[in-house]
Amino acid sequence: MDSPPPIRFELRRGAVTAIPLAIAVGLFGVSFGVLSVSTVGIGALPAIVMSAATFAGSAQFAVASVVAGGGQPIAAIAAALLLNARYLPIGVSVARFMPGGRLGRFIQAQLVVDESWAIAAEGDGRFDAHRLIGAGIVLWLAWVVGTVVGVAGGEALGDPAALGLDAAFPALFLALLVQQLASRRAVVVAALGATIAIALVPFAPPGVPIIAAAGAALIGLVKR
C-alpha cells in the first residue's frame, strides 16, 4: 500500500509546478507596477502594498482603471471587491482540505488565486492543501517582485498617452474577459454589462457605470 506523500514533497511539487506560471504572473505584476505609477495616481508604495495584501490581478487592474478614469475611491473599492467575489465559492471549494486552526486556514486562504487553485486540484473535486501553499507562495512572490520591478521601471517612463499605456487597460480587460466566457449565459451577461456601462457614462460619475454593470449578473437568478 502506498503511504500518502509527505508534506514537504507536495509543497515542493506545488512550487515547482507553479514556476512557469509564476513567470507570466511576474510579468503581469510588472505591468501593474508600470500602470500604477505612470497612468494612475496610485503611487509606488501603495501599489506594492496592494499587490502584497490583495494578490488578485484583475481586481487590482480594475482599481487602477477606475482611478485613472477619475473615479471616486468608493467606486474603485466596490469594483475590486465585486470582481473578487468569485473567490468566495473558490474558497469554499478548498475549505474542507485545509489543515490547521482558524489562523492557519486564514493564511492559507490568502494564497488561493486562480493558478494555485488549479495546481492544487486533484481533478475529482478534492484539493491538496500543501501543493496549494507551495504554488501560492511562489506565485505571490512573483506578483510582488514583479510589481516592485514595474514600479521602478514605470517611474522612468514618459507621457503615458503618447506611449499608448492608456490603451493597455482595455486590451488587458479583454484578455481577462475572454477567459470568463465559458458559457452562453456569460456571453449574454458580458454584452449586457458593457451596454449598461456605456449607457451610463454620460450621466454617472466615473467608476459608477462599472459597478452598475454588476447588475447584469442578476441574470444568474433566472432558471435555465
User: Which of the residues 204 through 223 are near another protein (CB under 8 A)?
Assistant: 204, 206, 209-210, 212-221
User: Dihedral of the CA atoms 110, 116, 121, 122 (nearest 10)?
Assistant: -120
CB of 35 to another protein, least distance (A): 9
CB of 2 to another protein, least distance (A): 25
Binding positions for another protein, 9-48, rule CB under 8 A: 24, 27-28, 31, 41-43, 46
Q: Does 118 bind another protein (CB under 8 A)?
A: no
Q: How far is the CB of 123 from another protein (least distance, A)?
A: 18
Q: How far is the CB of 94 from another protein (least distance, A)?
A: 7
The CB-of-121 to another protein minimum distance in angstroms stands at: 15
Residue from 18, 21, 62, 135 touching another protein (CB under 8 A): that is: 62
- Min. distance of Cβ 15 from another protein in angstroms? 20
Should residue 49 be labelled a site residue for another protein when binding is judged by CB under 8 A?
A: yes
Binding of residue 121 to another protein (CB under 8 A): no
Q: How many chain residues bind another protein (CB under 8 A)?
A: 102
- Closest to another protein by CB, 22 or 165: 165
Which residues inside 144-173 make contact with another protein, applying CB under 8 A? 161-173
Binds another protein (CB under 8 A): choice among 10, 18, 55, 135: 55
SS3 letters across the chain = CCCCCCHHHHHHHHHHHHHHHHHHHHHHHHHHHHHHHHCCCCCHHHHHHHHHHHCCHHHHHHHHHHHHCCCCHHHHHHHHHHHHCCHHHHHHHHHCCCCCCHHHHHHHHHCCCHHHHHHHECCCCCECHHHHHHHHHHHHHHHHHHHHHHHHHHCCCCCHHHHCHHHHHHHHHHHHHHHHCCCHHHHHHHHHHHHHHHHHCCCCCCCHHHHHHHHHHHHHHCCC
Distance CA 31, CA 151 (A): 9
Stretch that binds another protein, among 3-11, 12-20, 147-155, 203-211 (CB under 8 A): 203-211
Count the neighbouring beta carbons within 10 Å of the beta carbon of residue 118. Answer: 13
